Amino acid sequence: MAKANDRPLEGYHLLLCVTGGVAAYKSADLASKLTQGAAVVDVAMTDAAQQFIAPLTFQALTARRVYTTMWQPAEDFRSQHLSLTEAADLMVVAPATADILAKMACGLADDLVSTLALSACGACPILVAPAMNTRMWNAPPTQRNLQTLRDTGVRAVGPGEGNLACGTTGPGRMAEPAEILAAIIDMLRNTPPKSKR
């Protein structure tokens, strides 16, 4: 019999947004951990993310449809970029590339994930897990964008330091899935699922 702490996300509906970085493979592990924690997980992917990992991977891990474009037919008459964030208790962007952080900070909505991020404002909290090359992470525009997001209530986990895909070592490594999971549980700890409000 499963213990309550084995299902820390039971009743919660999470929206996992995957953007185009090599760390997308860690997002598959995160999706698995979220579903094992009893969360309902919807996954949205950018075109770039699909160059690193296939939507079918997330479909298999979550047993749910994966959203890859603004133009997929919706289940109902509401636009999916609104209905997905309305249903979500939390939106998680992992990996959060420099590109998506810039789009979110400026309010751009030119693909599915950036549109979801904009529509999440006022609908659900957002957690980002930055992942990029050290120079991109340290670049003043990236730091300004992240501060802008923090000022609007977006939380960040990571990045960590270590070996990066580009062959260098330094900050920019996406937080490990277990660390992101802990941040998610912490963010939701005192908030009941939308389904029970």
Specify if 2 maps to a domain. no
**Residue with more model confidence, 196 or 161:** 161
Specify if 19 maps to a domain. yes
Rounded Cα–Cα distance for residues 169 and 159 (Å):
13
Residue 106 appears among annotated catalytic residues = no
Selecting among 17, 121, 124, 166, the annotated active-site residue is: 166
Predicted confidence band of residue 112 (pLDDT cuts 50, 70, 90): very high
Specify if 65 maps to a domain. yes
pLDDT attached to residue 77 = 44
Mean predicted confidence (pLDDT) in 8-35: 96
Mean predicted confidence (pLDDT) in 51-66: 97
The number of angstroms, rounded, from the C-alpha of 126 to the middle of its chain's C-alpha atoms is: 8
Domain range enclosing 78: 10-191
Specify if 3 maps to a domain. no
pLDDT attached to residue 29 = 98
Specify if 1 maps to a domain. no
Q: What is the CATH number of the domain that holds 46?
A: 3.40.50.1950
Mean predicted confidence (pLDDT) in 146-170: 88
177's tokens: 């899935």
pLDDT, the chain, mean: 91
Residue 41's DSSP bridge partners are 14
* Degrees to nearest 5, angle at CA 52 with 50 and 53: 65
* 71-103 pLDDT tens trace: 766 554 456 668 899 999 999 999 999 999 999
Mean predicted confidence (pLDDT) in 35-46: 97
SS3 140: helix
Specify if 4 maps to a domain. no
**How many domains are there within the chain?**
1
Specify if 89 maps to a domain. yes
Taking the model in full, what pTM does it have?
0.92
Rounded Cα–Cα distance for residues 29 and 17 (Å):
13
Least confident range from 20-24, 128-132, 169-173, 184-188: namely 169-173
Specify if 112 maps to a domain. yes
**29, 39, 55, 71, 135 from 61: Cα distances, Å:** 9, 12, 10, 23, 33
b/e burial code for range 102-136 (CB count within 10 A of at least 16 → b): bbbbeeebebbbbbbbbbbeebbbbbbbbbbbbeb
